[in-house]
Amino acid sequence: MKFAGMLILGLTFEMGIVSIYMVTDGIIKEWLNTKTTPENIERLRQIYLLSYFIVAYVLIFFIKMTMGIRFVLDNAQLVLLETFIMAVRDRKLYFSIGVTVGFITLLPYFFKANIDGRIAVTFLVIIPLMLVSCYFTIRKNSLVRWLTFLIVGIVYWALRKLVWLGSQKIMLVLLLSYLVQASIVFWLFYLHEKNQQIIAKNEHDALFDEMTSTKNYRAFVRGLDQVVQVHAEAEDKTPLALIMADIDHFKLINDTYGHLIGNEVLKAVSGKLVESADELGITADVYRIGGEEFAILLREKNKGQAQAFIEKCRASLAQASASQEHEIYVTISVGYALLKPRETAIDFFQRIDTLLYQAKRNGRNMVVGGD
C-alpha cells in the first residue's frame, strides 16, 4: 500500500510537470514560427526548457523542504533532473546545469540548521554522475539511455542507504518506486522527442528544395513576409536587400546535355551562392524559387555590399565549370534592390522581378539594380 501511494504521488508530480512542458513547448513553438527564424526558434526553445525545469526543480525542492513527504519527492526531483538533462541538446550547457542545480540543492542548508546535510551531499555526488552519463549516452539508442536512467537512480539510493539509517524494506520500496517512475517518464519523454523529430523533419522537407538543399518557394514567401514585417516594426531601419538570379539559357543546357547534367548545374549554382556569402562573411538566405531561378535575402547590407556579393557570384560561376563531366560555364542574370519604406513584401518582390527581366531583355549575363 505504501509503495502504491509513493508511486502515485511521485508520478503525479512528474507527469504533471513533464506534460505541462510538452504542451507549452508546442504552443511556444507555433507562436515563434510566425515571429522569427528557425535558428532563433530552436535557441529560444532551449532557453525556455532551461527556465522551465529550473523552476520545476526549485518548486519540488521547496515542497520537499516544507512538507513531510521528503522521500517521495527525492525520486521526483531525481527523475525530473535526469529528464531535464536529457532534453538539453547542447552539451556545452551541462556544466552550467550542474553548477545551477548544485547551488539550488545547497541553498536551503544555509538557512535551516535542522536539515540533514548528508542528503544534500548525496545529491551533489550524484549530479556529476548524471551529467557525465547523459553526456556520453545522448547520441546512443533509447535502450542505453533508459538503462543509464535506471543505473543513476540505483547508485543514488545505494548512497542514500549508506547515510540513512532507515530500514532495508523502506529503501527497497523507494528504489522500486524510482525504477517504475523513471521508466514511465523516460519513455513518455523519449516518444515526445521522437515525435518532435518527425515533425521537424516534415517541416524541413516542406521548406527545403531536395535537389539543391536550399530553401524553396514556400520558405521564400514566408521568409520575405517575415523580414519585411520585422523591418516595418523596427525603429532602426537597417538595410534589407533582395536579389533574384536566373541561370541564362538553362533550357539549352537541359536540351544539350540532359536533365541529370542540368540538375548538376543547379546544385553548382546554389552551392556557389552559399559559398560566396560565406567567403564574404555575409548572412544570406538562399532560395530556389523556380526551375532555374534563385532568390537571396541579405539583411543589414547596403546596396553596394549587395552588388559586390552578386558580382562575386557571377564572376565565380563564369570562371569554373558547373559540371564535372562537361565544360559548362554558367552565366546568370540578376535583379536586386533594397526594401523601400512602407513597401509591402509583394511590391518588393514584383519590383525585383521586373529588374531581373530587364537584365534578361538587355542581353543576359548582367546585374541590374534598382533605387
CA distance 331 to 68: 76
Q: How far apart are the first and last CA of the chain?
A: 79
Length of the chain: 371
Catalytic residues: 292
Q: Spell out the residues 6+ positions from residue 37 whose beta carbon is closer than 8 angstroms to its own.
A: 223, 226
Contact 274, 263 (CB under 8 A): no
Q: Which of 338, 337, 346, 342 is nearest to 239 (CA)?
A: 338
Position 154: which residue type?
Answer: I
CA distance 24 to 133: 28
CA separation, residue 21 to residues 49, 54, 90, 131, 287 (Å): 8, 12, 18, 21, 34
Contact 318, 331 (CB under 8 A): yes
Between helix 70-87 and helix 168-207 the angle, nearest 10°, is: 30
CA separation, residue 98 to residues 93, 117, 124, 135, 254 (Å): 9, 18, 9, 12, 58
CA distance 220 to 207: 8
